[in-house]
Chains A and B, each alone.
Chain A
Amino acid sequence: MKIKILLLALTALLSLPALAQEGGIKGRVVTRAGRMAIDEAKVVLSGPQSKTVYTNTQGEFEIKNLMPGTYKLLVDALDFQPVELNVTVGQEMKNLNFISLVSDLSIGGLDDSDFVEFDMESANDAQAMPVTLSASKDVYDNIAGYKFSTMRFRNRGYETGLAGVYLNGVYFNDAMTGYTPWSLWSGLNDATRNQEVTSSMGISDYGLGSVNGVTNINARASQIRKGFRGSVVNASGQYRFRVMATYASGMQDNGWAYAFSASTRQGGNDWVNGIYYNSWAYFASVEKQFDYCSTLALTVLGAPTIRGVQAASTQEVYDLVGSNYYNPNWGYQGGRSKSDMRNARVRNSHEPIVMLNYYFEPSTKFKLQAAVSYRFGKNGYSALDWYDTQDPRPDYYRNLPSYFEDDPLKAAWVTEGWQNDWSIRQINWDALYNVNYGNYFDVDFSGGINGISKRFTRSKYVIEERRTDQQDLNAKVQITSIVHNHSTFNAGLEYRWNKTAYFKILKDLLGGDYWLDVDQFAERDFPTNSNAIQNNLLTPNRLVSEGDKYGYNYLAHLQSGKLWATYELALNHIEAYLAAEGGLTSFYREGLYKKGLFPNNSYGDSERQNFWTYTAKAGVTGKISGSHTLWANVAYMHRAPYFQDAFISPRTRNSVAPGLTTEKIFGVDLNYMLRLGGFRMRVSGYYSTIKDQNKLISFYDDLNRSYTNFAMRGIDEMHAGLEVGMQAPLVGGLSFKGAFSYGYYKYTSNPYVTQTVDNSNRIILENERVYWKNYKVGGTPQTALSAGLDYRSRKNLFLGVDVGWYDALYIDMNPLYRTDYAHVGLTNEESQAMAHQEMFPSAFLLNANVGKSWYIHGKYNLGFSLEVKNILNRQNIKTGGYEQMRLKRVEDPVTGEIDHYSPFPSKYFYLFGTTYYLNLYFRF
């Protein structure tokens, strides 16, 4: 007996070393979409042992004779996004089964230019970009993020502030507006390709997020795919050309990694005149790994961009011109050729970012990350400005046939003008210059100004550039600790300091010698009060030259601090998490001009606004067998209002918006995922409420001939809906993928509005009720469906076709149309017409794409992809629109008193007809 045991023990002991060498890893690399085998995929093993193998024609690989331990496995194939796995090897062959790679083909190359932006005559100059979740590996987000963006879809109907965007772990949403900051790295697609996405209400590894997901962009040297990538694009829907080149070294043996990328986008598109791109982008990052634990990375990036913008117009104008792509922002200057086309509304920005990241990972169980980033630069948006002269806009309502509906003779003259004369149809730059050439100060202004002795001309028309120049400093420290192998504790401390300068400069005098800095609207109301008309009492009657600031000038000062912690527990079939965050946000306005109309309330600091913020989240995930996953999240947060909504007339005075308070957001969702073979489906239901929002809408009101502001408070919304995403391999290399979103987004309260005019101390409306409860949230289709077929052949040929169907897209409302004030004197019918919210007709789209790549000499990869959108060339699809923010005053001709108001016609944006995007790329 004893000998038997001894012998057994000996045999066991002897065979141990042999067993110890039998550890291994094997797997099969396939495409995610169609479960097609990927051959020649590179599998790099690192850890206690290093090895590199390639997959065979079945996509299979096997690495034998491995010591037990924890390894890192990097699976990489050209045209696919690399995947990194942590594998623990024991005594036997570990079978990873299917390793799915997601296609890397940047079909279309989603960037901020996809969100064709329309000038909405508002003074809120910041651009709001929708959330893009196309980098997500989730079956719904992946499709919805890209396909739905054609129709300006907003995921779950939320404003962009509810989606978190992080750069190398640092929260980067705009401090003043909350907008997702895609334009900061627009054109750096290659450098920002490595993204980690958390959907909807879950927590991320970098912070709690809100209710619309978190995207973290890993844009530092070691995170960018190694090698060289170059591409040339020719397109017809966004810009004409794009050239991009990227090189990354990957983490080298000497511990250094570096990466560079640069691109340019140039030209206009086939559909709208006056839109053009002149944009560049650069990126450089260097990283050093010190011993095994610490890494330091320095990243610098920027995207200097100049582009001309389109404005929406009314249907009357589109019909008059015979095209839904009319752009009132441009006109011919000096000639009638293409180079004479001048756009008055041009965005010009360059906001570079410098970031330092530090990672300390002494073991697999503990990680410390720290980062400091600084964003600075300039952001400008130009516009026409004019003083006491005719409105230069070609589609000004008095220049349209509808203004003369009582006089058919004049209406006919107007129509003929629009159809025959470019100087009527578009901005007449020559006429504007000529007004300036002939307007002499000594005739025009009797006030007496220093420095005007000879006959200088005073510009009546100029180009102003409204600037929002930010300095944004972020500092963050985060620790991650894995406890007992199945629970993770994450905690972070974040600090943000922001100083934003808001002002406007005189960009172009348009042929005159000077502009005079007085407030023309105040001058109309107080013609003999030389103080009231000053924009800055400290420098009255100042002569303004090109490059000088004028008009308004103030600073936003903001600081915020946050402390957060998340705890995740992963057991056999259940995962759960708890997360909490608390913080303080504080901001104030500092006026740099003493406005004549508000001498005691414009210069100097406003009251400091302080808001305590907090977030609490919890979630649970249940894995039923390998195929079924069920998970739910619940979230509640108090969020600080944004600076841009906090003051009733920030350009002129320090007055804080009434009822300024934190927003309260509540959300809950339930999700189910099915994975069966290659079939994948995700179904989600969500319900969320947003309460107590403050919003400031500023726009040019030509009735008052001034900028007017709507400060709204108490805006409550409900967003609920159902999402389904599906992906199924069919036969051969064919697969199906589709996404469906059915949303119900509406207003659930009647907010209050206070209306002021920038250039008068009068309050036009005070705490007027806006009756829009149960009206729908506009600007995004609430029903969206995409279904498509993809084919991938053995020889790297890609084909795809998809259809989209969109419905329940509502117009953006003018709150004024739903107040008692605006309904005075209206009949029941007229009242209903004014309060009615327009819903746009449903839209059907057909798109297709094709691509192929080749290997040259085994090492170089050359390929192309071509995408054609809106193959059916539908030119009558509204992608959005807004009710004009003004009312027509109809007076009783006898008494001069106001009889009633009537609305102006709404303005619309249309989807371009057929467009293509051809991308030729080269990599090694």
Chain B
Amino acid sequence: MKKIRNIRLLTCGLVGCLLGGLLVGCEREYDDPARYKPVEMTPTMTIADFKSLYSSNSLEIADDIVIAGQVISTDRNGNFYRSFYIEDGTSGMEVKIGKTGLYNIYPEGMTVYVKAKGLCLGAYGDMVSLGAPPSEADKNSNYQNTWIDVQYWIDQTIFRGERGEAVTPTVITSMNQINSNSNLFGRLVRFENMTFQGGSLDTWAVSDNPDTDENEAAYGEQRLQFADGSGTVVIRTSGYSRFADSQVPAKGSIVNVTGVLTRYYSTVQLVLNNSTDVEVVSEP
């Protein structure tokens, strides 16, 4: 009798074990982490004033300067790469953060604060940007600053504020506006009533051919002319953008274009966020 009872007990124990196993045999549950709270900081100077600190060489920032601006560019479509532009109404500038997939973390319209101490102002083709101080190798290649690139460093210098609506672009209809206000560089602008002169390609840029090992990607340039004949703007597009192979408007079309205003020495350039930012007003 005792033996049978023992066996019964055992069987119950084993079955219990088994059932317990099947029930508990689920994976661990984890709570969803808290949402990041937007940082609130006060900028110590405007972007315009900050850019004016730069004269002709790399300038490593030694003071506790904080600048703030809204993000006006996106790397979603591949035309911007490893950096984003911020503007605060006075001016705009490129922050060479160095990471990819930036639109996931710093979406257009978000206010971003930068603690500039330890970072470095530099220019490329007369366009001032903020990045990391250049290494020996960078200096040898004539770069005045470089990507920040290190997450631990980024965590201590670049901060995310509130999300917001996209910035309203500044409307430009004449080169005179740009000539009289160099602080427009780095800002989101909208050229209106421009004549699309075109370029050597009928697409925005040359994309890489995935079937070969070689790298065929190349920049494309398309020209826009102001309605008042005051000058020409070059739309410069990377071969890595998703819209590189998209057709450009017909030569002679009248277009409105929104993008980030940049320069390369005396050439005024526009960098597009997306080909949909080109609005064809009328065909030629």
Contacts and interface: CB of A to CB of B under 8 A. Distances in A.
Task: Check if A and B associate.
Answer: yes
A684 interface: no
A406 B136 CA distance: 8
A245 B149 contact: no
A247 B6 CA distance: 11
A429 B104 contact: no
Contacts of A444: 76
A262 B34 CA distance: 40
B132 interface: yes
A903 interface: no
Interface string A412-441: 011011101100100001100111011100
A410 B33 CA distance: 30
Interface string A250-269: 00000000001111100000
A898 B214 contact: yes
B31 A424 contact: no
A62 B78 CA distance: 89
Given A433-B32, A897-B215, A390 B21 contact: no
A762 interface: yes
Contact of A390 (B27, B101, B163): B101
B36 interface: yes
Contacts of B14: 245, 247, 260-262, 282
A413 to B, nearest CB: 4
B62 to A, nearest CB: 15
A762 B153 contact: no
B265 interface: no
B21 A264 contact: yes
B151 A399 contact: yes
Contacts of B168: none
Given A409-B133, A511-B32, A439 B104 contact: yes
B141 to A, nearest CB: 8
B245 interface: yes
Contacts of B24: 278, 280
Nearest to A461: B104
Contact of B215 (A247, A350, A408, A896): A896
A430 B33 contact: yes
A565 interface: no
Contacts of B13: 245
A348 interface: yes
B10 A413 contact: no
B151 A424 contact: yes
A443 interface: yes
A264 B17 contact: yes
Given A262-B14, A262-B18, A413 B152 contact: yes
Given A409-B133, A417-B151, A247 B7 contact: yes
A291 interface: no
Interface in B241-272: 242-243, 245-246
A406 B17 contact: no
A776 interface: no
Contacts of B64: none
A413 B150 contact: yes
A245 B17 contact: yes
Contacts of B152: 413-414, 416-418, 420-421, 424
B211 interface: yes
Contacts of A410: 132, 135, 149-150, 153
B10 A247 contact: yes
User: What band does the interface of chain A fall in when counting residues whose beta carbon is under 8 Å from B?
Assistant: 35 or more
A228 interface: yes
A759 B60 CA distance: 44
B53 interface: no
Interface string B66-91: 00000000001010000000000000
Interface string B214-241: 1111000000000000000000000000
Interface in A371-407: 388-390, 398-399, 404, 406-407
B146 A407 contact: yes
B63 interface: no
Contact of A434 (B25, B26, B28, B33): B33
Nearest to B110: A438
A333 interface: yes
A418 B217 CA distance: 36
Interface string B193-221: 00000000000000000110111110000
Contacts of B214: 896-898
B282 interface: no
A311 B245 CA distance: 41
A346 interface: yes
Interface in B131-165: 132-133, 135-138, 146, 149-153, 155, 163
Contact of A437 (B35, B243, B245): B35
A281 B136 CA distance: 61
A896 B213 CA distance: 11
Contacts of B101: 388-390, 460
B105 interface: yes
Interface in B85-132: 99-101, 104-105, 107, 132
25 contacts: A245-B14, A247-B7, A261-B14, A280-B17, A282-B17, A282-B18, A306-B26, A306-B27, A334-B34, A388-B104, A398-B149, A409-B135, A410-B149, A410-B150, A413-B153, A417-B151, A430-B34, A438-B104, A444-B76, A460-B101, A511-B33, A528-B243, A528-B246, A896-B217, A897-B215
Interface of B: 6-7, 10-11, 13-14, 17-18, 20-22, 24-28, 30-36, 76, 78, 99-101, 104-105, 107, 132-133, 135-138, 146, 149-153, 155, 163, 210-211, 213-217, 242-243, 245-246
**6 nearest A-B pairs in the assembled complex, by CB-CB distance:** A417-B152, A280-B21, A527-B242, A407-B135, A525-B210, A389-B101
